[in-house]
């Protein structure tokens, strides 16, 4: 009902439409219309009212509200159920909670802010109110748990492609889960899974994107390492347009994977990669070593050419950093 009322107001944006007309078209009482208008105002919509003229939509809030997302989405799986929060500890934690309660595949959790946002290896993630896109997607794929790490690569390709499409900013993917622009982080991806030996119960893909954060807003400890799409594009970015583009790109890739496997995703990942061909230092796992990142294999693992041969590095085991060249 509320979405139908919004469609009426949008169709005559900037003009008044009488409560009687809305009531007649939707076959509900004018009192019910008034109650829905009050709820919409609480969500941030600026709706003027006049005793003789009715209601007029003056401004739509800069919020990632479920109705706003739903009106723009053309997906068949992703975003059909949306859990929205103004503030939450972590969208991944909330997504895991509702996944365990049998939330359907494609459910998304989106928040205006996270107060305990997480990245890989339990690192914090700066998630200020209404300045970024902080969301998680629940998938229930039929493939084996061994395939799950490649969902991070799939998400990175979807996000990178959507950013280019919506903002014109050409980002690169740093293995395994970051998206950077000229060496500064814009996106982090955290994939978590619940599985048994041969079956996945659910996968949660959490994505955090710095969209409209000003450089002066970043905490001092990450200011030199992070940037936002607004900074690099030189303009404010529509979070709603970007989120819906990501969901559409991700669904397209996911349905392709379900039909044909990950081969095409891995190929697209290679074309977006800023890690391959670079000197890198591997930190963690069984020890530190350096080499050249030459490829990813069919499992999505990074292959490093060292002086003693090719080392295979699995996502989640290590951190990858540019190797510092010693000057003499």
pLDDT at position 328 is 39
**Cβ within 8 Å of residue 170, ≥6 positions away:** 164, 181
96 assigned ligand-binding residue: no
pLDDT at position 123 is 56
pLDDT at 322 over 80: no
pLDDT at 117 over 70: no
CA nearest neighbour of 162 among 209, 118, 199, 120 = 209
pLDDT at position 323 is 59
Selecting from 3.30.930.10, 2.60.120.380, 3.40.50.2020, 3.40.50.620, what CATH number does the domain 66-272 have?
3.30.930.10
Query: 162 or 28: whose pLDDT is higher?
Result: 162
Q: What is the mean pLDDT of residues 79-105?
A: 96
Helices (H), the chain: 2-11, 19-26, 30-42, 66-72, 91-100, 150-167, 220-223, 229-233, 239-260, 263-272
When mean pLDDT is compared across 17-31, 37-51, 115-129, 234-248, the lowest value belongs to 115-129
pLDDT at 13 over 80: no
CA nearest neighbour of 162 among 175, 174, 151, 171 = 171
When mean pLDDT is compared across 112-121, 129-138, 280-289, the lowest value belongs to 112-121
185 assigned ligand-binding residue: yes
Q: Quick one: pLDDT band at residue 71, thresholds 50, 70, 90?
A: confident
Over pLDDT 70: what percentage of the chain?
91
Give the model confidence (pLDDT) of 247-299 as tens digits. Answer: 999 999 999 999 999 999 999 999 999 999 999 988 766 678 889 999 999 99
d(CA 135, CA 157): 16
236 assigned ligand-binding residue: no
Query: 14 or 299: whose pLDDT is higher?
Result: 299
Which architecture, in CATH terms, is 278-320?
Answer: Roll (2.30)
pLDDT at position 176 is 83
140 assigned ligand-binding residue: no
CATH class of the region 1-59 = mainly alpha
Instruction: Show me where the domains of the chain are located.
Output: 1-59, 66-272, 278-320
């Amino acid at each position: 009902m509320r979405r139908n009322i919004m469609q009426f107001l949008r169709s005559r944006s900037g003009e008044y439409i009488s409560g009687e007309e809305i009531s007649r078209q939707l076959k509900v009482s004018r009192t019910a219309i008034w109650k829905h208008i009050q709820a919409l105002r609480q969500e941030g919509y600026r709706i003027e009212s006049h005793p003789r003229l009715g209601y007029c939509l003056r401004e739509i809030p800069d919020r990632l509200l479920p109705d706003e997302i739903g009106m723009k989405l053309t997906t068949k799986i992703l975003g059909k159920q949306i859990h929205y929060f103004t503030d939450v500890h972590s969208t991944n934690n909330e997504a895991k909670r509702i996944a365990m309660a049998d939330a359907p595949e494609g459910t998304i959790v989106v928040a205006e802010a996270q107060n305990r946002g997480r990245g890989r290896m339990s690192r914090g993630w700066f998630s200020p109110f209404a300045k970024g896109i902080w969301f998680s997607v629940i998938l229930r794929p039929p493939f084996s748990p061994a395939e799950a790490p490649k969902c991070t690569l799939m998400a990175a390709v979807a996000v990178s492609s959507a950013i280019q499409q919506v903002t014109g900013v050409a980002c690169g993917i740093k293995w395994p889960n970051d998206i950077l622009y000229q060496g500064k982080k814009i996106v982090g991806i955290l994939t978590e899974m619940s599985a048994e030996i041969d079956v996945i119960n659910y996968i949660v893909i959490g994505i955090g994107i710095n969209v409209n954060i000003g450089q002066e807003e970043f905490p001092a400890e990450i200011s030199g390492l992070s940037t936002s799409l607004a900074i690099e594009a030189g303009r404010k970015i529509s979070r709603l347009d970007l989120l819906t583009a990501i969901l559409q790109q991700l669904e397209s890739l996911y349905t392709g994977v379900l039909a044909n496997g990950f081969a095409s995703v891995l190929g697209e990942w290679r074309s977006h990669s800023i890690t391959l061909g670079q000197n890198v230092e591997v930190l963690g796992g069984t020890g530190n070593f350096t080499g050249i990142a030459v490829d990813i294999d069919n499992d999505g693992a990074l292959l490093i050419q060292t002086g003693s041969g090719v080392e295979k590095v699995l996502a989640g085991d290590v951190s990858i950093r540019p190797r510092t060249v010693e000057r003499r």
